[in-house]
Amino acid sequence: MNNGKPLLALTMGDPAGIGPELAVKAAADPGLQRIADMVIYGCPDVVAVAAGRFTPDFSPAIKPTGDLKFSAVNQGHNDPVCGLAAMDAVVAATEDALQRRIDGMVTMPMNKASVNLAGVKFTGHTELIAEMCGVDDYAMMQSSGNLRVAFVTTHIPLADVCRCATHLRIVEVAHLLNNVCLAEGIKQPKLAAAAINPHAGENGYMGREDEEVVKPALDFLRREGVDIAGPFPPDTLFIKSTLDKFDGVLSMYHDQGHIPFKMLAFETGVNSTLGLPIIRTSPDHGTAFEIAWQGKADCRSVFAAVRAAAVRAAAKR
């Protein structure tokens, strides 16, 4: 901490994408500077070029995590060198967070294909950071204001959802969602769960999973004191009149929650990893190769991610 403010790491993201632009603009923003001190983890030459181009009156603090030169960046394209550089920044920031050298981390977008092209199996920030933290019970959450969506399953094939959306997993993620609501000052969180099948299975006529797995899990949660309703048909759960009744939504699989969330809050969404011993947030979008290094990146999501990390870090003290 410095002057009572949390110290946050901003990873540079994929150098071929909009990550460096987002990082320097966040670090230079006076409003964010009032609530957090920020240091950018990444390749000094790449970050320096981004600062010179997008924030010429501001020189960010940099934690070097590699020596990739900007001249070697294949802007707007998948590149294994860029993928590894982005991953190195995340690994360094996670290590520092675990050692309490920083109070939280905000990760700029990475490209999964670029990392995998380097021969490294990579499914996402969430899984990498959780593995480094030695955590098995974790979950992805997207949020914007009072809209929070946590995911029972994430980066798996749709064909595997019913096998992985178990009683235990539903209970675990619901508790993580309930806990983050409590941590954000909601004294009595009200949660809603989406069904797996269309029309919540129509009493078993459109699939037995909601009858045999989801409903018993929700009953168990209620006995444990979690106020959770459902399962709701997924096609009506995300309409405003329903959402306004709840502080958090439990989504059973990736697209079930991601599609409506991004339609409602794409520009302001924050991605968080729940269940970690460290604080990690990120903007809720990708590398946007098509506008990389053009000064066109929308900063609202990353600014929201920094604010969320700062609030949670301050509350954790």
Same domain, 177 and 167: yes
Q: In 3-state terms, what secondary structure has residue 174?
A: helix
**Residues 145 and 257 grouped into a single domain:** yes
**Would the pLDDT of 118 be above 90?**
no
Specify whether 91 is located in the same domain as 165.
Answer: no
DSSP characters for 250-312? EESSHHHHHHHHHHHHTTT-EEEEET-SS-EEEESS---GGGTTTT----HHHHHHHHHHHHH
Q: Which residues pair with 42 in a beta bridge?
A: 64
Q: CB neighbours of 298 closer than 8 A, spacing ≥ 6?
A: 267
pLDDT at 317 over 70: no
Rounded CA-CA distance 282/304 in Å is 9
pLDDT in tens, 156-207: 899 999 999 999 999 999 999 999 898 888 999 999 999 999 888 788 888 8
- My answer on whether 174 and 250 are in the same domain is yes
The verdict on 24 and 144 lying in the same domain is: no
For the cut 70, the answer to whether the pLDDT of residue 270 exceeds it is yes
Q: What is the rounded CA–CA span in Å between residue 41 and residue 276? A: 20
Preceding omega of 231 cis (within 30 degrees of 0): yes
291 and 269, same domain (yes or no): no
pLDDT category at 1 given cuts 50, 70, 90 is very low
* Arithmetic mean of pLDDT, 132-149: 92
pLDDT of 306 > 80? The answer is yes
Number of domains in the chain: 2
In the prediction, which pLDDT does 33 show? 97
Report the b/e string of 257-282 with b at 16+ CB within 10 A. Answer: bbebbeebbeebbbbbbbbbebbbbb
Please give the Cα distance from 180 to 148 (Å, whole number). Answer: 10
Q: What's this model's pTM, rounded to 2 decimal places?
A: 0.86
The H-or-E segment that residue 170 falls in is: helix 167-183
**Is pLDDT above 90 for 51?**
yes
Residues 129 and 73 in one domain: yes
Of 23, 42, 16, nearest to 115 by C-alpha is 16
243: helix, strand or coil: helix
Tell me how far apart the alpha carbons of residues 305 and 138 are, in angstroms, rounded to a whole number.
19
pLDDT of residue 2: 54
Question: In this structure, what token pair is assigned to residue 207?
Answer: 């699939």
pLDDT band, very low/low/confident/very high, at 57 (cuts 50, 70, 90): very high
Please tell me whether residues 121 and 148 are part of one structural domain.
no
Residue 264 pLDDT > 80: yes
CATH number, domain of 309, equals: 3.40.718.10
2 and 64, same domain (yes or no): yes
Round to whole Å and give the CA distance between 69 and 44.
8
Q: How much is the average pLDDT of 56-84? A: 95
DSSP state of 233: P
Of the candidates 267, 264, 315, 270, the one whose C-alpha atom is nearest the C-alpha of residue 106 is 270
**Average confidence (pLDDT) over 134-156:** 91
Sheet strands (E) in the chain: 7-11, 37-42, 61-64, 104-107, 139-144, 147-151, 191-194, 228-232, 248-251, 270-274, 280-283
- pLDDT tens per residue, range 241-261: 999 999 999 999 999 999 999
pLDDT at site 19: 96
Q: What are phi and psi of 168, to 5 degrees?
A: -60, -45
Q: Do 165 and 79 have their domain in common? A: no
Please check whether residues 265 and 206 belong to one and the same domain: yes
Mean pLDDT of all residues belonging to the chain: 93
pLDDT confidence of residue 14 = 95
Per-residue confidence band for 112, with pLDDT thresholds at 50, 70 and 90: confident
Q: For residues 148 and 142, what is the distance between their CA atoms, to the nearest angstrom? A: 6
Q: Which residues have a Cβ under 8 Å from the Cβ of 244 and sit 6 or more positions away?
A: none
**CA 33 from centroid of its chain's CA atoms:** 21
Q: Residue 221 and residue 243: Cα distance in Å, rounded?
A: 20
Q: Are residues 298 and 262 in the same domain?
A: no
The residue segments making up the domain with residue 220 are: 137-275
